């Protein structure tokens, strides 16, 4: 569904991505993993079109989108869910959701989808008249995901859905992402929480210093010693040892 070939991108003269190749098949969940400052968010911006490509090509659904503006890519069904802190705090929950369907002309179906999103996240229905700035972290995360769904996407890109959330809430959000994937939306999830993301996804890419360092089936990655070493932390006994010294 999404194909990225030899993408170089960055800000001004600063090149951050140095030749990224990636593929997301239709259906299922792909995880893009890496620590802070490795280029995850930059890659996401390059895919959604917020920053221009310096080199390479992005193809979505068989169409090259490299030259398209962000709002044009979004209209093709390539929808990026923003980070949770990027809801519009001065708008109500419902206004945020309606904004997600901004490009759609099919009024009836949009209304039906709004109800679907409310059924999916009942807490949003309870809070629909509230300003989104008054929601809790988990609720805002549900709001931005719901807002993405309102665009009736073919593919949803999630930017760190677990950021700054309590582990229990993360579990709930990830269960919801899984449900969305089951309903037929392809998902690319960008995460720092490597363990959780690899449990959720079927396939994973690990990015470091602007290049793909490693890729493979999620099951294999999670048991790979190199991945364990750099992302999942040492074993429990190692941690205990370190504490005693």
Partner 1 sequence: MGFDFNSLLAFIIFGVTIGVVYGIVALGISLIYSGLDIVHFAHGEMYMFGAFFGLVLAHNVGVPYPVALIGAMILTAILGMAVERVFYRRLTRAGGGYTVAGMGMIICGFGMSVALVNAAYFFFGAEAEPFRANLDYIPRLTFPGDINVPESYVLTAIISVLLMTGLHYFLRHTKTGLAVRAVAHNKDIAYLMGINVPLMISLIFGLACGLAAAAGVLIGPMQSVQVEMGYLMLMKAFAAAVVGGFGSLPGAILGGIMVGIFENLGAAYISASHKDIYAFLLLILVLMFRPSGLFGVEAKVKA
Residues that bind partner 1 (CB under 8 A): 48-50, 69-71, 74-75, 79-80, 82, 86, 88-91, 95, 98-100, 102-103, 133, 147, 151
Q: Say how far apart CA 8 and CA 73 lie, in whole Å.
A: 19
* Closest distance to partner 1 from the beta carbon of 81 (Å): 8
* Closest distance to partner 1 from the beta carbon of 245 (Å): 45
Pick 100 or 204: Cβ nearer partner 1: 100
Name which of 55, 60, 56 is nearest 24 in CA terms.
60
Residue 14 φ/ψ, nearest 5 degrees: -85, 110
Pick 35 or 89: Cβ nearer partner 1: 89
CB-count burial class (<10 Å; 0-12, 13-18, 19+) for 154:
middle
Pick 81 or 221: Cβ nearer partner 1: 81
* Closest distance to partner 1 from the beta carbon of 175 (Å): 24
Pick 71 or 241: Cβ nearer partner 1: 71
Q: Say how far apart CA 230 and CA 234 lie, in whole Å.
A: 8
What are the E-state strand segments in 73-150? 78-81
* Closest distance to partner 1 from the beta carbon of 166 (Å): 25
Which token pair is 200? 């959720």
Pick 99 or 123: Cβ nearer partner 1: 99
Strand partners, 95: none
**Which residues make Cβ contacts (< 8 Å) with residue 235, sequence separation at least 6?**
none
* Closest distance to partner 1 from the beta carbon of 233 (Å): 33
Sign of CA pseudo-dihedral 146, 148, 153, 158:
negative
* Closest distance to partner 1 from the beta carbon of 131 (Å): 9
- From residue 37, alpha-carbon distances to 57, 104, 158 in Å are 22, 35, 17
Pick 96 or 162: Cβ nearer partner 1: 96
Q: Say how far apart CA 158 and CA 80 lie, in whole Å.
A: 6
Q: How far is CA 13 from the centre of its chain?
A: 26
* Closest distance to partner 1 from the beta carbon of 85 (Å): 10
């Amino acid at each position: 569904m999404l194909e990225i070939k030899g993408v170089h991108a960055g800000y001004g003269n600063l090149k951050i991505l140095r030749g990224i190749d990636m593929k997301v098949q239709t259906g299922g969940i792909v995880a893009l993993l890496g620590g802070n400052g490795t280029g995850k968010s930059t890659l996401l911006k390059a895919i959604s079109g917020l920053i221009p490509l310096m080199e390479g090509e992005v193809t979505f659904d068989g169409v090259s989108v490299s030259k398209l503006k962000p709002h044009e890519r979004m209209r093709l069904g390539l929808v990026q869910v923003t980070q949770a802190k990027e809801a519009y705090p001065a708008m109500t929950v419902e206004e945020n959701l309606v904004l997600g369907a901004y490009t759609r002309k099919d009024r009836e179906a949009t209304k039906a989808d709004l109800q679907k999103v409310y059924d999916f996240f009942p807490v949003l229905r309870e809070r629909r008249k509230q300003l989104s700035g008054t929601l809790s972290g988990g609720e805002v995360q549900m709001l931005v995901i719901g807002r993405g769904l309102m665009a009736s996407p073919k593919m949803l890109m999630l930017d760190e859905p677990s950021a700054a959330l309590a582990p229990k809430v993360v579990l709930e959000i990830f269960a919801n992402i899984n449900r969305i994937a089951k309903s037929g939306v392809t998902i690319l999830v960008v995460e720092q929480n490597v363990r959780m993301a690899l449990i959720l996804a079927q396939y994973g890419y690990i990015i470091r210093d602007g290049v793909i360092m490693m890729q493979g089936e999620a099951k294999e990655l999670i048991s790979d010693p190199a991945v364990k070493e750099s992302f999942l932390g040492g074993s429990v006994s190692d941690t205990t040892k370190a504490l005693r010294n």
